[in-house]
Amino acid sequence: MRAALYDEGGGYYTTSDRQFGRDGDFYTAAQVHELFGALLAEEFSAIDRALGRPPAFTIVELGPGRGEFARDALSVIRAHHADLFARLKYVCCEISPALRRAQQEILADFATTVDWTHDTDDLAQYGPIEGVFFANEFFDALPVHVIEQRNAELLELHVATGEDGRCHWQTGPLSHPELGIIWKRAGAQLSDGQRAEISRDSIDWLKRIGRSLKRGRLIAIDYGDIAARLYTPDRTQGTLRAFHRHRLEDDPLTNAGKQDITASVNFSALMEYGRDFGLETLSFVRLTDYLIGLGLLDRAAQLAASAGDETPGALQRRLALKQMFAPQGISGSFRVLTMEKHSPQSIQECPVGEKREITEQTK
């Protein structure tokens, strides 16, 4: 999966910037409507105030796509929060050269504010960070191990190559001893023959974030759920899947490098292991509820009231806004996990769409 997605010679994310939007394989919320970035910009400003407006406020976006979110959020911050913009450093953490070029083009107007890095190991130049790590559909794009419960034993599905050159699954022992530990700590009870996924890379990224962040928040937006709801008995094949041209593909092992491969995020693992690195869970809610808590409905009503005689393009954009709060829209299947580190009590009072979905089960 790592080779198929990130190999420099032919990885899905490294060779093109055309994965997103109508002509790509999937949409992100930032491509649906610019209000997504505008609402999060206000959230970033609220976190800045709660931290006491530090001399340098840093936003690190993990996997910024083509840069639409950064453009929309920075535009609002520059227009309405000049003091924050003057202290702001926006860091795009991007491994793909093709996507980095697209981001640099779309963010050219913010050249003095935006920096690029390959991973969080390069963030030491900014000092201990006070600010936000923002991850929108980042964790679902990390490589996973596929496991299967067989006769009370946890096995792994490895990828093998047949004589015809085609890839196929081959069941064998766990490739890393810690996989069993991770699943015992943050997994769910599997039935015999049931598959699931484990992302060791997610834990590695949490460690990097915790090491870099002095005070502030991690905001992770992705599709997935807690393990108990994600790996129910009726989901015997796990959540690993592939997409091509907005269509679900039957086999993630075919067309390597030419289609998206993804798995739903096990948020139980993020919550559980985040604590090891100083990241305490603040809230876990549906993206729809989160955006409504940030004022989505009020902003949508304002747009409707000021619509007047709309051009076809403006009408299309306003209709696209429904995707942000309709249950069947893009926000309906996404969750938002907000975690914080070494923050004073005041930061817990700044808005996060504060309806909490955390139960004893999620803890």
Mean pLDDT of the chain: 84
Provide the pLDDT for residue 312: 56
Residue (of 239, 330, 228) closest to 287 by Cα position: 330
Tokens 């603040």 -> residue = 282
**Residue-wise pLDDT tens digits, 305-352:** 665 556 555 555 555 555 555 555 555 679 999 999 975 444 545 554
- How high is the pLDDT of residue 247? 73
Calpha distance 156→267 (Å, rounded): 21
Q: What is the pLDDT of residues 216-274, one digit of tens each?
A: 999 999 999 999 999 999 999 999 998 876 677 778 888 877 788 999 999 999 999 99
pLDDT (average), residues 270-298: 92
Report whether pLDDT(358) > 60: no
d(CA 55, CA 91): 16
Q: What is the pLDDT of residues 102-148, one digit of tens each?
A: 999 999 999 999 999 987 677 878 879 999 999 999 999 899 999 99
Per-residue pLDDT reduced to its tens digit, 173-220: 999 999 999 999 999 999 999 999 999 999 999 999 999 999 999 999
pLDDT at residue 26 in the model: 46
The torsion angle over the Cα atoms of residues 80, 84, 86 and 88, rounded to 10 degrees, is: -120
Helix (H) / strand (E) element for 35: namely: helix 35-50
Distance separating alpha carbons of residues 30 and 107, to the nearest angstrom: 14
Q: Tell me: the pLDDT tens digits for 26-49?
A: 455 555 568 889 999 999 999 999
User: Directed axis angle between helix 178-186 and helix 267-274, to 10°?
Assistant: 100
Cα→Cα distances 144→3, 204, 218, 239, 261, Å:
12, 12, 21, 11, 10
> What number of residues does the chain have?
363
Between 43 and 361, where is the model more confident?
43
CB-CB contact of 260 with 300 (8 Å): no
Q: Is the pLDDT reported for residue 356 higher than 50? A: no
Q: Is the pLDDT of residue 71 over 60?
A: yes
The pTM is what?
0.86
pLDDT class of 361 with cuts at 50, 70, 90: very low
pLDDT-derived band at 5 (thresholds 50, 70, 90) equals confident
Question: Would the pLDDT of 21 be above 80?
Answer: no
Which helix (H) or strand (E) segment is 30 a member of? Answer: helix 29-32
CA distance 95 to 199: 18
Tens of pLDDT, residue by residue over 82-99, are 999 999 999 999 988 888
Joined together, the tokens standing for residue 309 give 């005689």
CATH code, 2-142+198-349? 3.40.50.12710
Pairing of strands 247-249, 153-161: unpaired
Question: Which residue type occupies 201?
Answer: D
Q: Identify the residue whose tokens are 């075919």.
A: 254
Q: Phi, psi at residue 354, to the nearest 5°? A: -65, 5
355/11 Cα distance (integer angstroms) = 39
Mean pLDDT across 58-63: 96
